[in-house]
Amino acid sequence: MIEFGAGGGLSEASGEALAVPVFAERIWGPGADWVAEELGTWLDEYLEEVDFSGKADQIVSLPTGGRLRFRTLFLVGLGEEADLDGVRQAAGWLGGKTNRVGDLATTFHGLAVDGAARAFAEGFLLGQYRFDKYRSEPKPSLTETVRFVGGAAEAAVVEARVGAELARAVALARDLVNEPAAGKSPEMMAAVARRVGDETGIRIVVHDEEDIAREGFGGLAGVAAGAHRPARMVEFWHEPENAQAFVAFVGKGIVFDSGGLSLKLPAAMETMKTDMSGAAAVFGAMQAIAALKIPVKVLGITPLTENMPGGGATRPGDVLTARNGKTIEVLNTDAEGRLVLADGLALAAESQPDVIIDLATLTGACHVALGDKIAGGWTNNEVWRDRVVGAGAAAGERIWPMPLPSDYRKNIDSTIADMKNTGNNRYGGAINAALLLAEFVGEVPWVHLDIAGPARWPEDEHYQRQGGSGFGVRTLVAFVEDLAGRR
């Protein structure tokens, strides 16, 4: 665990490395002005040489050769002006370059952005993230301390600890997504939920396969029918005494999606361990919300199973009955996410929360529509949807509003059941999926986030690392902070 501390005044401080922010056209940020003064034309000539102008995404490190009381200097570009996510991103680039620095001093908290120290900690720690457990030679971060130098450092430390809690929650989600399916059976996932519960005081309820059959979770049971490892439905309950609102999160938890009998092609299966990213986001968000003691009542629900083509598997043409009594004809067993979410959403609606938010790597169609880095947002209530989109914007997670046209409902009409789990063709596939989900929330306000794209980041970039991104954790926490009036 990296410790954040206060490091005193800039001109007295010393240490291994110093990181200072620089705006575009080399306009010095806090601390960088002092550094520039100390180093004079030697620095200017160097930056000219390496073509560093302070654009966002630029970062240089240089040995000071004794010209400062720090051995190494990092100059981190912020671009024209920094907003919260600009600070996070710059800190992320820095995190990605400082895994071998034991003690880092910085002046980032001096930026004129509300919450700069928190954003710095968030971005820095997420930039340092690695998933190394399956390497024979893991390279863990050597960073032990980050010290804020210059004014207002004590307040920055308090803020940074909140950012660190967020980063820890995102790292939990990333670890779960990056874990190969063999290492994350529904039972193992439920054990992780129990550990989160023990550590934070969240109450955990686990429904095993017998409960799932007895309690009418027919969608989940139907998807699990082809798998050897049994399904679990997990509930997380955060119930603070001074709760100001009640929200429910539902996360798709397909620990591996082979497609079932409607088997995927090999290439499409390669990343399907990612198909529990919605559940991972709920795990992470619940951990952070409890650790930060946010005074909102939150119910987290994660239906967990794998989608496999075993001998007992649900066949195309079979009909499942979901928790709320509605029936679904399964024409394509690869459209399994909506089947498990039907039960998860119906269960959430039974508690009558103020709003339900679900997160799911639901459709390839949404991935095609919005690309790798933007989620789609559907809703039966645009006021709540806008609050979720706003929370996402504050967190640096992009959500684009999508339509839920009632005249498209006939696309999922079944000839024998209440609905079918596919449309008539591939057009509007993400909308058809959302229209099916809408059948299971009753009258409760609901926002559906299709995170098929951004659940996996395609490349190392600012505070993202290639692989599981933990997308959704920070949006959910920001949303709840917003409800609690903390943001």
Contact between 448 and ligand BES (CB under 6 A)? no
CA-closest candidate to residue 91, choices 126, 64, 115: 126
Tell me: does residue 64 bind ligand BES (CB under 6 A).
no
Residues 252-271 that bind Mn ion (CB under 5 A): 257
Distance between CA atoms of residues 130 and 103, nearest Å = 19
d(CA 192, CA 328): 31
- Find the DSSP H helices in 179-270: 186-200, 209-214, 218-224, 266-269
Residue 333 contacts residue 316 (beta carbons within 8 Å): yes
CA gap 311, 80 in Å, rounded: 60
Based on the shown chain and the rule CB under 6 A, indicate whether residue 306 belongs to the binding site for ligand BES.
no
Beta carbon of residue 457, minimum distance to ligand BES (angstroms, whole number): 13
Closest approach of ligand BES to the CB of residue 10, in Å: 47
Comparing CA positions, the residue from 6, 14, 5 lying closest to residue 38 is 14
- Taking CB under 6 A as the binding criterion, the range among 5-13, 70-78, 238-246, 333-341 that sits at the site for ligand BES is 333-341
Tell me if 122 contacts Mn ion by CB under 5 A.
no
Burial 197-207 (b: 16+ CB within 10 A, else e): beebebebebb
Least distance from Mn ion to the Cβ atom of residue 231, Å: 15
Q: Which is nearer to Zn ion, 175 or 257 (CB)?
A: 257
The answer to whether 323 and 216 have CB atoms below 8 angstroms apart is: yes
Output the smallest distance, CB 332 to ligand BES, in A.
Answer: 4
Binding flag, residue 428, ligand BES (CB under 6 A): no
Are 361 and 274 a contacting pair, CB within 8 Å? Answer: yes
- Beta carbon nearer to Zn ion, 90 or 335: 335
**Residues 148/106, Cβ–Cβ less than 8 Å:** yes
Q: How far is the CB of 351 from ligand BES (least distance, A)?
A: 26
Element (H, E) at 89: helix 84-97
Q: Is 429 in the site for ligand BES (CB under 6 A)?
A: yes
Q: How many amino acids of this chain bind ligand BES (CB under 6 A)?
A: 16
Q: Which residues pair with 106 in a beta bridge?
A: 19, 148
**Residue 80 Cβ, how far from ligand BES at the closest point, in Å?**
34
**Exactly one of 452, 476, 477, 483 binds ligand BES (CB under 6 A); which one?**
452
255-290 burial, b for 16+ CB within 10 Å, e for fewer? bbbbbbbbeeeeeeeeebbbbbbbbbbbbbbbbbbb
306 binds Mn ion (CB under 5 A): no
Q: How far is the CB of 362 from Mn ion (least distance, A)?
A: 9
User: Contact with ligand BES (CB under 6 A): which of 29, 278, 337, 445?
Assistant: 337
Is 334 a binder of ligand BES (CB under 6 A)? yes
Residue with smaller CB distance to Zn ion, 348 or 451: 451
Q: Which CB atom, from 240 or from 364, has the smaller least distance to Mn ion?
A: 364
Which positions are annotated as active-site residues? 264, 338
Q: Which is nearer to Zn ion, 85 or 275 (CB)?
A: 275
Give residues 353-392 in contact with ligand BES (rule: CB under 6 A).
361-365, 367
Cβ neighbors of 386 (< 8 A, separation 6 or more) are: none
Q: What are phi and psi of 134, to 5 degrees?
A: -100, 15
Nearer to ligand BES, 290 or 430 (CB): 430
Does 343 interact with Mn ion (rule: CB under 5 A)?
no
21 or 259, CB closer to Zn ion?
259
Which of 235, 329, 334, 439 touches Mn ion by CB under 5 A? 334
Nearest to 205 by CA among 90, 286, 294, 313: 286
Q: Is 159 in the site for ligand BES (CB under 6 A)?
A: no
Name the closest residue to Mn ion (Cβ).
334
User: In the window 251-290, what residues touch ligand BES (CB under 6 A)?
Assistant: 257, 275
Q: What residues form DSSP beta bridges with 450?
A: 360, 376
Q: Count CB neighbours of 139 within 10 A.
A: 10
H or E stretch at 236: strand 232-238
| Spatial distance between the Cα atoms of 390 and 436, rounded to a whole number of angstroms | 25
Find the part of the chain contacting ligand BES (CB under 6 A) among 69-77, 129-137, 163-171, 335-343. 335-343
Helix spans in 371-428 (H): 382-395
Closer to ligand BES at the Cβ: 276 or 296?
Answer: 276
The torsion region of residue 46 among left (phi > 0), alpha (psi -120 to 50) and beta comes to alpha
Of Mn ion, Zn ion, ligand BES, none, which one sits near residue 106, judging by CB under 5 to 8 A according to partner kind? Answer: none
Residues between 385 and 424 with contacts to ligand BES, criterion CB under 6 A:
422
Site residues, ligand BES (CB under 6 A): 257, 275, 332, 334-337, 361-365, 367, 422, 429, 452
Residues that bind Mn ion (CB under 5 A): 257, 334, 336
